[in-house]
Amino acid sequence: MPTAVIWIIVGVTLILSELLATSIIAVFIGIGAIATGVLLWAGVIESLTWQMLVFGVVSLSTLLLARKRLKGIFLGDSVDQGGGSMDFQKDIGERVTVERDFHQGAGRVVLNGVAWDALSDDDLKAGDVAWVVANEGIRLTVSRNKPE
């Protein structure tokens, strides 16, 4: 197998590995490997020294120039990084639909198209309407009665 093909396969594999590990680093190393493979295939570079130099320079420069800009696109905003505030109170009083029957006070509801684990003292069945009375971040507390 030609060396150029190996570089390109390694680059594509690194880029695809980013789907599993969201560090946003493997993509840039993969870009460096693909660039090296393409230049090698085109006959622009030949020696192992040039291959390593191109690979290192392209990987490092794309990492330094683009990672910060692209990280927000791939990972989204994070509250820990000051991207927003955790305003759990805004959901209180919102209407939800029960997705799964409540058993022993626990069930599943849908709020704004998103399914949530929920707790309730009421006996709620799938399809019932309930209201958010508390939000603990990853779990809602709901009631058959709308809070005032």
Give the pLDDT confidence score for residue 52 in this predicted structure.
95
* Domain end position, chosen among 25, 54, 78: 78
| Dist CA 127 CA 87 (whole Å) | 27
Indicate left, alpha or beta for 118 from its phi (over 0: left) and psi (-120 to 50: alpha): beta
* Domain end position, chosen among 54, 78, 102: 78
Q: Is residue 28 part of a domain?
A: yes
One domain for residues 74 and 7: yes
* Domain end position, chosen among 56, 78, 100: 78
One domain for residues 14 and 71: yes
Query: Does residue 48 have a pLDDT over 70?
Result: yes
Residue 107: partners with Cβ closer than 8 Å, 6 or more residues away? 98, 99, 100, 101, 117, 118, 119, 120, 124
Give the pLDDT confidence score for residue 71 in this predicted structure.
63
One domain for residues 72 and 135: no
Q: What is the mean pLDDT of residues 57-75?
A: 78
| Dist CA 72 CA 147 (whole Å) | 37
One domain for residues 12 and 59: yes
Domain span including residue 132: 89-143
Instruction: Please state, for a pLDDT cut of 70, what percent of the chain lies above it.
Output: 85
User: What type of residue sits at position 18?
Assistant: E
Query: Does residue 67 have a pLDDT over 90?
Result: no
pTM: 0.46
As for how many domains the chain has, the answer is 2
Q: Is residue 74 part of a domain?
A: yes
Query: What one-character DSSP code corresponds to residue 137?
Result: S
126 near 137, Cβ under 8 Å?
A: no
pLDDT tens per residue across span 89-141: 777 888 999 999 999 989 999 988 888 999 999 999 999 999 999 888 788 99
One domain for residues 72 and 52: yes
Q: Is residue 120 part of a domain?
A: yes
One domain for residues 105 and 49: no
CATH of residue 126: 2.40.50.140
